[in-house]
Amino acid sequence: MPSSPNMGCEMAPSADQVLKALSTIVDPDLGRDVVSLGMIKDLHISPQGQVAFTFELTTPACPVRDQFRRRAEEALQGMEGVTGVDIKMTANVRAAQGRQHQEMLPEVRQTVAVASGKGGVGKSTVAVNLAAGLAQSGARVGLLDADIYGPSVPTLTGTREQPRVVDDKLVPLQAYGLKLMSIGFLGGADKAMIWRGPMVSRAIQQMMTDVRWGELDYLVIDLPPGTGDASLTIAQSVPLTGVVIVATPQELALEIAVKALQMFRTLNVTPLGLVENMSWFVCPGCGQEHYVFGHGSTERAAQRLGVPFLGGIPLDQQIRSEADSGAPIVVSRPDSPGARAFRDLASQVAARTSIQAFRRLPVINVR
């Protein structure tokens, strides 16, 4: 008999053994192993010991994506009988739970609002870059400008056309891989208008349900500043996965941000965490980082409130100039410190929304 190149094929590990090895990998955010979370798909083991599978993350912006791949390779390469490992990394953003969400936005998996206590702290800048950062990771993302008093998405994305209407629905504009909708795109929006509570609510609801968003992993919503009528109405009428609160490190601004966070909690909107904008200043001359308003105040506030600290964004003149020229810095200057900070923020936010989606899911027994 000719000697077989498949000698030792009986040594190939079983699916059970492979899954057991992979179940040592624990998702740091979800606190459970990746096998019971259902992240290992299409497992195939050849008689020669070639192990192939799909690693399905809960978000393409997963902060531990590379770490997961490395850990899986390490766990399997050391196993007896394994001759090769082929891992395909994919992502499937899980839908938020809740009936209201499914009825109102059946094709949108997660809705993330960006809010603040004070105006002018960089909410819209954060919302645009968060959305663009998520889209860069491969997610399908929409951006809804819910600031009907002072819409800024048209300026921040350099989009000004009037959306088309097809079958009684508005077709969102597109830029930087994002689907966009803002009252600023609609005729007459530049006129001074008095918005009363019910009108605010109706306009926002229409911008959600009368828009052909299509399938989205994330809909990022830029809220108006403060805890006034508009924010209140939106928090109550829009199904939100959670809210990201933007604060700046000055004491007073932070105090107001904390109040906003507590208001959202009262309305049963989950705070996904606090982000500190204008956190530090990078000296354009010497490159040194200066914490002009002190260091760590927002992180400490987050700890005190029991919410995640999602990270800081530098005070960077380029963030403003890029915004003014209609380009999110994550797209136009992807290597700048500001862009890196926004991408990290996008990963953190994506991880927090995954936690929300998984909170009530039972353990999947794949064996």
Ligand X SMILES: Nc1ncnc2c1ncn2[C@@H]1O[C@H](COP(=O)(O)OP(=O)(O)OP(=O)(O)O)[C@@H](O)[C@H]1O
Q: Per-residue string for binding with ligand X, 142-161, x by CB under 6 A?
A: -----x--x-x---------
Residue 230 or 272: the one with the smaller Cβ distance to ligand X is: 230
Residue owning tokens 């998405």: 153
What residues contact 78, with CB distance under 8 A and at least 6 apart? none
Pure H helices in the chain? 15-22, 65-77, 99-104, 123-136, 153-157, 197-209, 229-237, 251-266, 297-305, 317-324, 329-332, 337-358
Residue 323's binding partner, choosing from ligand X, Mg ion, none, with beta-carbon cut-off 5 to 8 A by kind? ligand X
- Residue 182 interacting with ligand X (CB under 6 A): no
- Residue 315 interacting with ligand X (CB under 6 A): yes
Residue 123 or 343: the one with the smaller Cβ distance to Mg ion is: 123
Residue 348's binding partner, choosing from Mg ion, ligand X, none, with beta-carbon cut-off 5 to 8 A by kind? none
* Buried/exposed 285-298: b ≥16 CB within 10 Å, e otherwise: eeeeeeeebebebb
- Residue 119 interacting with ligand X (CB under 6 A): yes
- Residue 116 interacting with Mg ion (CB under 5 A): no
The neighbour count for residue 348, using CB atoms within 10 Å, is: 22
Instruction: Write down the least CB distance from residue 322 to ligand X, Å.
Output: 8
Residue owning tokens 């927090």: 352
Q: How many residues bind ligand X (CB under 6 A)?
A: 20
Residue owning tokens 């530049």: 190
Q: Per-residue string for binding with Mg ion, 128-157, x by CB under 5 A?
A: ------------------------x-----
Amino acid at 257: A
- Residue 311 interacting with ligand X (CB under 6 A): no
| Measured distance CA(40)–CA(54) in Å, rounded | 6
Biggest CA-to-CA distance, the chain: 90
Which of these segments, 130-138, 158-166, 313-321, 358-366, binds ligand X (CB under 6 A)? Answer: 313-321
Residue owning tokens 């795109």: 185
Residue 132 or 319: the one with the smaller Cβ distance to ligand X is: 319
Applying CB under 6 A, among 316, 330, 345, 348 the residue interacting with ligand X is 316
DSSP string, 291-318: -TT-SSHHHHHHHHHT--EEEE--B-HH
Applying CB under 5 A, among 23, 110, 124, 136 the residue interacting with Mg ion is 124
Residue 207's binding partner, choosing from Mg ion, ligand X, none, with beta-carbon cut-off 5 to 8 A by kind? none
Applying CB under 6 A, among 170, 243, 275, 319 the residue interacting with ligand X is 319
Strand partners of residue 56: 90
**Secondary-structure breakdown of the chain: helix, strand, coil percentages, each rounded to the nearest 5:** 35, 20, 40
- Residue 62 interacting with ligand X (CB under 6 A): no
- Residue 278 interacting with ligand X (CB under 6 A): yes
| Measured distance CA(299)–CA(338) in Å, rounded | 18
Instruction: Write down the least CB distance from residue 225 to ligand X, Å.
Output: 4
Applying CB under 6 A, among 49, 142, 225, 312 the residue interacting with ligand X is 225
Rg, Å, the chain Cα set: 23
Between residue 11 and residue 30, which ones bind ligand X under the rule CB under 6 A?
A: none
- Residue 298 interacting with ligand X (CB under 6 A): no
Residue 121's binding partner, choosing from ligand X, Mg ion, none, with beta-carbon cut-off 5 to 8 A by kind? ligand X
From the list 233, 251, 257, 254, the residue with the least C-alpha distance to 114 is: 257
Residue 109 or 123: the one with the smaller Cβ distance to ligand X is: 123
- Residue 125 interacting with ligand X (CB under 6 A): yes
Residue 353's binding partner, choosing from ligand X, Mg ion, none, with beta-carbon cut-off 5 to 8 A by kind? none
Q: Are strands 50-57 and 84-91 parallel, antiparallel or unpaired?
A: parallel
Q: Which residues lie near ligand X (CB under 6 A)? A: 116, 119-125, 147, 150, 152, 225, 277-278, 313, 315-316, 319-320, 323
Q: Which residues lie near Mg ion (CB under 5 A)? A: 123-124, 152
